[in-house]
Every structure is written in structure tokens, then in C-alpha cells.
Amino acid sequence: MLVHPRIVIGVPSEITQVEKRAVMDSAYRAKASEVHLVEQAMVAAIGAGLPITEPSGNMVVDIGGGTTDIAVISLSGIVYSRSVRMAGNQMDEAIMNYLKRKYNLLVGERTAEQIKMEIGSSYPLDKPLTMEIKGRNLIEGVPKTITVDDSEIRESLSECVSTIMNAIRVALERTPPELSADISDRGIVLTGGGALLKNLDKRIREETGLPVSIADDPLCSVVLGTGKMLSDFKLLRKISIE
């Protein structure tokens, strides 16, 4: 049967007009009857169950594949939002570059992602981890297996993590003082797959001195949020961005 669904799409806050058009067009071409764009961090906050309609301030940091989206939300509105192109994909790339530089070892993106998920971290771990990695030696051109530990991968990710930390710091500085007080009580909520990077919550807690929590199902926060939007038309009208 031909159905023409309403579609809600989460987009980064720093999306250009041209990109916005392209996203809308593809949804209409997929036979949508209505298309609504909402900021990813906003839907992530809704999906994570944050009380975004209340007057108090909420801060959400959504670390995805391509972008990290940070937002401060109050009364269903975005008080501050920023999207930086530094997230999971750039971390995978950083791991690939590190292995190339240090061991002349070439690995694919999938392997790099696996390394990140298994032993990647942003703050020293209680129990050290190691991992065997298969790749191709760049000089001899032959397959090679090496063992790396968590401290090496942490080093390779340090620049990526610093960039995210900086963006969080800037967001905190730009937040109006009365909302900052709320955030220091309720803390920062992390969503997106990047929130699962080991000890990232600890690192943010350590550097900001604020409480930090990870959403229950960080990989699904955005999709859960867009789902909630579809059944709450009033809220959708209020927060959609076109």
C-alpha cells in the first residue's frame, strides 16, 4: 500500500540552507506527506527523557558519527546550540593515522572502529586493556599482527576528545547564569554512540566539576526522540526549525 508518512528528521544545528533543502527534498521524494526538521540535540534530549518543557536548564551533548551536537534547552526552546564536526568517524580516522605513524600498519575503518569500541577511552582505565590488531605493513606490504594497549589508543584519541571538551567548555561559558545553576544541579546528559567511549563521562566530570550521566540507550536517543515528536504535534510545531 502506498502510505505517505509524516517524517521527522534530526539535523545538526549548524546545517546550511542548501543542506536543509537537500534533506527535505529527499524526504519528499521518498513520498513523505510532511517533513519536519528538528535539531539533533533537541530530539536527543527528548529521547533521553530530559524535562525540556520545564523552565529549568538542561544540557545535552550528543556525540554521533559525524558531529557532536551540544545544546542547552529550557522551556522547549534552544538557549544555546553548537555543532562541531568532531565525533566517532574522526576518532576512527585518528586511530588509523596513529597506527600508520607509529607502526607503519594500515588498517581499515571497520578495524579502527572496533579498536575504539573495545579499548578506546578518554581517561585512564581501572584495568588496562590490550588488543591484537591485524593490518598490512606499509613497508613490507605483508599482513601483520601487533598488540596495542589502551594508553596508546587514548593518546591517539586525545586531540578528538580535547576538541569535544573545548566545545563543552564554550557552551558552559555561553549559558546564561540562571540556567548554569540548573545545569550544575542536574548535570550534563550524554547521548549518541560516542557517549559509550570508555570513561568519557568521567573525563567530562573531572574537567567541568559537574555531574555527568549517560542516557539509558544513547545510540537510540535521537530516534526515540523523533518518535515521541510524531505523537506530540504541539511540541513538534514548537520545536521544528523551518
Ligand X SMILES: Nc1ncnc2c1ncn2[C@@H]1O[C@H](COP(=O)(O)OP(=O)(O)OP(=O)(O)O)[C@@H](O)[C@H]1O
Cβ atoms of residues 146 and 111 within 8 Å: no
The CB-of-130 to Mg ion minimum distance in angstroms stands at 30
Specify which residues 106 forms β-bridges with.
136
The residue among 43 and 172 lying less far from Mg ion, judged by its C-beta, is 43
Out of ligand X, Mg ion, none, which partner does residue 204 contact, by CB within 5 to 8 A per kind? none
Q: Which residues bind ligand X (CB under 6 A)?
A: 40, 64-67, 87-89, 113, 116-117, 120, 192-194, 196-197, 219, 222
Residue 73, phi-psi category: left (phi > 0), alpha (psi -120 to 50), beta (remainder)? beta
Q: 3-state DSSP call for residue 85? A: coil
Residue number closest to Mg ion, CB atom: 64
Q: How far is the CB of 144 from ligand X (least distance, A)?
A: 24
Residue choice 47, 64, 88, 218 for contact with Mg ion (CB under 5 A):
64
Residues 7, 31: Cα–Cα separation, whole Å = 10
* Residue 137, number of CB atoms within 10 A of its CB: 14
Shortest distance, position 212 Cβ to ligand X, whole Å: 16
Residue 133 CB, shortest distance to Mg ion, in Å, is 27
Instruction: Please state the closest distance from residue 126 (CB atom) to ligand X, in A.
Output: 17
Scanning the chain, the segments in alpha helix (DSSP H) are 17-29, 40-47, 88-103, 109-119, 150-174, 177-186, 200-208, 221-230, 233-239
Locate cell 545538526: which residue? 12
Q: What residue 193 binds from ligand X, Mg ion, none (CB within 5 to 8 A, per partner kind)?
A: ligand X
Site string for Mg ion, 22-61 (x = CB under 5 A): ----------------------------------------
DSSP lists the bridge partners of residue 213 as 189
Which residue, 88 or 225, is less far from ligand X as judged by CB? Answer: 88
Q: Which of residues 222-241 bind Mg ion (CB under 5 A)?
A: 222
Of 97, 70, 82, 90, give the one whose Cα is nearest residue 15.
82
187 binds, among ligand X, Mg ion, none (CB under 5 to 8 A by kind): none
Binding site for Mg ion (CB under 5 A): 64, 222
